Chain A
């Protein structure tokens, strides 16, 4: 099996809607994903630029604001397959779970990208919980 799968999740003490405002905005990934220094958007295409010097082109596959699910695929040649998924799941009025999953072939890339996703979730939680809680929509 060459497909690797990594899932990171954590609970954020803010509403799902408030977290989705940032986590679901494809153009703001670099604001909370450590190691992504900038990005370019062109329709459903996104290119992220990494602190290590690499740039990775991506296709945005799903941007579902109702179920709060965002999916994208890194399309650079080293990946036979990649799918990144961010789910923001409401738990309580001001509490949600964010799941950031990564599947990749080669499987080692799932570990490397998944490690970045882990740190991104930590940073997302830090930033969100510094913000005042917004009233639920």
Chain B
């Protein structure tokens, strides 16, 4: 019997939504305890700030350039490398419960396996998983959670926010008390909401195992990704009117817009509504219309979603205890990317490599028999490091196709194993708009170089000193006083680029 692995991901969760990371809105005692008893990472960075590329990095242990899912809507090939397959081959029982999104959701041709399993097609070890129960942000579509709602509780199917509008663009319709886009009052009972459903399914699957079975369970909550449509019954937890605005939201409009003007021009163009560079934010929404109360209400709903997840994982932990296996399980908690959450007057996500999207919650509590002391790691680590970590937990060598290395268990371990830099990519080419960014996070600096695209001639970029400017207000790209640091980071960035799969795989859906 080896170490069992419970891998918990959320979707689009900011670093500062956990109490252990300094968050003050959501109460997250379960995650906070996990952090106290395990390893908390202070600079975990995704390799992409949108779902499909980032999730593909998690499962392959490869950068987006290597696995080839270069933007949302590009499917990860069914035969792509998978850490779940590696673990299954080593004797692990494997399951994915919740949001997969390695393949596009918008799929009228039922071309992608993820969208067919709930209809009865056998899973047959797809991507290495024995068990595959999928959910996403509502009751629409062919996934297992949608079928559960539509068949067993159809009266609640219409209560979710319609993520897409009638033209299949991300919906800009507002709700709540402030008219915040993608925010909605949902009458569904808490116990039927996808957060609790995912936890229930995870507990059921754990109950189906023998006590000695080694397992890899990827429990993948769809929240707190937009839409913000948590059950109405939970809205009393947080009064949005009581909340402070985010630290990275200058309340003075002139100051806010000056900050945006110091960044590459697509920032301000999106803010003003003159360019929507990517699919993932509402196409007809103009961020400059975002009000302080809308940010507060978004923050409250988002925090409630985080609290519900925290309580749900507490139930899963209790199930591990009830089975008497809690000491044998490694638990890793993270997310795929963050959310702008009102920072700079922006929300949702896009080609913006700043902390709202790039600084992620990551906690690893090793199994008790691993004898790893609790610690905090400040060195930068990436989601690309998760797959090799799972291999290390399982006591098997990481395959050569994995590009990361197993997570450090302490700051000293990070230093000894050269956790110096993390790279992040953005590529998108959609409806005539092309954006290409390459980013390095190192030594408490973040540098983003822009490749030629719709708004860039390939000479602009961003450079932030995270120690002195934690909100990334001041772009130092053109500041001669830091030219040497910029040159060094650029050299490092280009020297460590992952291998690029060419030609680019085709985009076959919006998302």
Contact = CB atoms under 8 A, between A and B. Distances in A.
Interface in B97-150: 104, 106-111, 115, 142
A118 B166 CA distance: 24
A54 to B, nearest CB: 5
A57 to B, nearest CB: 14
B508 A111 contact: yes
A133 interface: no
A109 B506 contact: no
Contact of A111 (B109, B111, B507): B507
B169 interface: yes
B75 to A, nearest CB: 9
B81 interface: no
Interface stretch (A1-9, A18-26, A82-90): A1-9
B508 A108 contact: no
A36 B166 contact: no
A118 B109 CA distance: 12
Contacts of B504: none
A106 B108 contact: no
B101 to A, nearest CB: 16
Interface residues of B, number: 20
B509 interface: yes
Interface in B202-236: none
B484 interface: no
B405 to A, nearest CB: 35
Given A35-B109, A50-B108, A50-B109, A115 B509 contact: yes
A108 B506 contact: no
Given A4-B431, A35-B110, A54-B108, A112 B168 contact: yes
A115 B105 CA distance: 12
B109 A34 contact: yes
Nearest to A8: B506
B106 A112 contact: yes
Contacts of A4: 431
Contacts of B507: 111, 115
Interface string A103-127: 0001111011011101100000000
B510 A111 contact: yes
Contact of B109 (A1, A2, A36, A108): A36
A35 B108 contact: yes
A51 B508 contact: no
B118 to A, nearest CB: 12
Nearest to A3: B431
B143 to A, nearest CB: 12
A107 B507 CA distance: 14
A51 B166 CA distance: 22
B169 A106 contact: yes
Contacts of A78: 166
Contact of A52 (B142, B167, B506): B142
A136 B111 CA distance: 35
B510 A112 contact: yes
Contacts of A36: 109
Contact of A119 (B115, B168, B508, B510): B508
Interface string B74-113: 0000000000000000000000000000001011111100
B167 A51 contact: no
B361 interface: no
A48 to B, nearest CB: 10
Nearest to B279: A108
Contacts of B509: 111-112, 115
10 contacts: A4-B431, A35-B109, A35-B111, A51-B111, A54-B108, A106-B166, A106-B169, A112-B107, A115-B509, A116-B111
Given A50-B110, A111-B73, 20 more contacts: A4-B431, A34-B109, A35-B109, A35-B110, A50-B109, A51-B110, A51-B111, A52-B108, A52-B110, A52-B115, A106-B168, A108-B106, A111-B508, A112-B168, A115-B104, A115-B109, A116-B111, A116-B508, A119-B109, A119-B111
Interface of A: 1-2, 4, 8, 34-36, 50-52, 54, 78, 106-109, 111-112, 114-116, 118-119
